[in-house]
Amino acid sequence: MPDSDDPAPPSRSAAGDSPPVAPRRPRRWERFGQRFEDPWSWLRDREDPEVLRHLEAENAWTDRVMEPWSGLRDRIEQEMRDRIVPDASSPPLRHGPFLYQSRYRPGEEYALLTRRRAPTRPRGRPGPDEILLDPNQLARETHGAADAGHFQLGAVEVAPEHDLLAFAMDDVGRRIYEIRFLDTRTGEFLPDRIPGAAPNLVWAADGRTVLYVRLDPETLRWCEVLRHRLGEPVEADRIVYREEDDEYHVSVWESRSRELLLIHCQQTDDAEAWAVPARDPDAAPRRLVRRGRKHLFELDHFRGGFVLRTNRDAPDYRLVFAPADAPDDPAQWEDLIPHREGVLVEGFELFDSAVAVFERRAGRQELVILDWERRTERLVRLPGQLRALDAEDNPEPGAGEVRVVVSGPKTAPRTLAVSLATGRRRQLKREKVPGFRGANYAERRLTARARDGARIPISLVHHRERPPGPDSPLLLYGYGAYGISMDPIFSRPRLSLLDRGFVFAIAHIRGGQELGRAWYEAGRQHAKENTFDDFIACAYRLRDRGLCDPARMFAMGGSAGGLLMGAVVNRAPDLFAGAVAMVPFVDCLNTMLDETIPLTTNEYDEWGDPREEAFFRRIAGYAPCENVPRAPLPHLLVTSGLHDSQVQFWEPTKWVQRLRARNTDPTRRILLRTNLDAGHGGRSGRYRGLPELAEIYAFLVGSAREP
């Protein structure tokens, strides 16, 4: 187990004299009788040479401070690389007459999309392997090398006859995609190119028309569905549907019946659905379910009617079947899966013989098979007490199995095929992790009591030879927003922490949906502060149970979880030895007041609309940038992406300046690392992002070893 050869911590003399200081340019503003100062508001222009010089200076400062740990960082990065199987591939997936697969070539960043013609008789041999799409080559064409610059594939959709492939690609990291088309018979790209798109498109039945979603060029909201015919100018594309309400976004997909192209409009508390016939993409869309009733649902068309996952009279959702001519009439709905207290219906997959239903019971994900004819339910036995469950691609409704992926904190992902008739499962693939043995690790769950009495689940994993105790370093991770559940997934990189004696814990705080919709409602808008209090309660629980060294407890979160980090550090600056805030949403008050910033209006239902006084005061009371105390702060590593469209780069940049200005302990490291060629998700590719993560782990391990 890696350990004692790691170097001593950085010193002030080794790091240099002082970090970069951005000039203060006074900006004062007032709202609802409260006055604010924002002296670094000028750090907003990613094209401004002065801004770029400041970001480069911050990166250089982080390099200098981290230099004594460079050997540790390099070792951790190599460990991460060594756990990657060079020629990894996915299990073949039957779609029409072909078996599709993704696979890596050794040393390459991106997986190839390949296919073979499926055998026409039992035990027959598939046809030869064809490479359909090579993202490495596309990245080389864009950036000169596959390991330079950003490259991300979005939607990849095969035409009905499998002769064409449509895909979306982002080569900047701003999540603004270009849609391109490939002739799968010749390997040639078609001249059609659609810029400014979302990674969301669907083929019409003619195989020559696509419906796609276009972004608002300023706010990047998914706002329009357009129709494109191959060979015609993009400028001639017609708008099929435009969403005028700034709080809604739109998406489009093909129904399971393949008869309809479904348009879904949604905001946090309400939704609406429209449909276009797949065989007549020129037809005007027909509204299926109207908005305005605080009704959330997912809808699909199959077996001559509609299946809805709906929260109508069901806070944790139910599954219903609706007639084709009345999908919006609850009086005509038939319950397939009724609402049950404590059981959250999370999703479903439709097949000819059954429905695969994904549920969450007592915080744990489960798979249920519903027989169409008998209306009987079968709970599938899945491995692992702490687990994460995800649906795999299941493109064929006539299949006799549903494919899922199961993993856990000490269990590498397994792709399973579960029989729809019997519930029996067979393993299609177990992900290989060189050097890893699950038996070397242990996992457990406990709870913390929040300030208002709520019981907050905590998931833990650690090395068996390093059980949690009063001398253990510990990393507590949290998110707590948008109803997104932080499930206990497997992580290859995390093994480098566990093997060095770290305990890793996930705080399943309110704002997520681990314990149902009410768990989410209790952590948003006016109840948002529960999220922060829950995280702090989990930290105290771990400390008071003697499961970690209080002087070596660290916190980590990203995006909305970065806001969590900022709020927690402000409220309890002496609780953690250090924190990592990745692309943190910390300038939330200013951002939520600026409707021109991408995604702001979509966020009102999550945080509240600060144009209203009650919400303004609530957000102003916890906004990280506005509430930094004058106190000794913990060590902090903050990351950012210059092209981030979700959390603009200036938010962490401004926050770091304020943290340093308010910190009263000069020995504390407050570092900013800005990725100058990436966005919200960091560097793309399976290897390119490892140095960033290795640096974060070196920061944690090195800080934990300080006297």
Category of 690 on φ-ψ map: left (φ > 0), alpha (ψ -120 to 50) or beta: alpha
Please say whether the beta carbons of 410 and 495 come within 8 A.
Answer: no
**3-class secondary structure, 311:** coil
Compute, in degrees rounded to 10, the torsion defined by CA atoms 592, 648, 246, 520. -70
Closest by Cα among 678, 693, 637, 638 to 46: 678
Q: Which residue type is seen at 634?
A: P
Selected catalytic residue, list 150, 463, 508, 680: 680
Give the strand order in the sheet containing 177-183. Answer: 152-158, 164-170, 177-183, 189-203, 209-215, 222-229, 238-242
Going by their DSSP bridges, the two strands 93-95 and 34-37 should be labelled as unpaired
Selected catalytic residue, list 462, 549, 644, 703: 644
**3-class secondary structure, 640:** strand
Please say whether the beta carbons of 324 and 306 come within 8 A.
Answer: yes
Q: Which residue type is seen at 333?
A: W
Going by their DSSP bridges, the two strands 578-582 and 635-641 should be labelled as parallel
Q: How many whole angstroms separate alpha carbon 180 and alpha carbon 173?
A: 17
Please say whether the beta carbons of 620 and 33 come within 8 A.
Answer: no
| DSSP secondary structure of 529-560 | HHHHHHHHHHHHHHHHTT-S-GGGEEEEEETH
Q: SS3 letters for 91-142?
A: CCEEECCEEEEEECCCCCCCCEEEEEECCCCCCCCCCCCEEEECHHHHHHHH
Closest by Cα among 591, 560, 541, 513 to 38: 591
Tokens 């407890």 correspond to what residue? 553
Distances (CA, A) of 238 to 156, 213, 214, 225, 454: 22, 12, 11, 9, 52
**Segment (H or E) for 582:** strand 578-582
> Active-site residue 680, yes or no?
yes
Residues making up the chain, counted from first to last: 707
Closest by Cα among 133, 136, 134 to 166: 133
Q: Catalytic positions, please?
A: 559, 644, 680
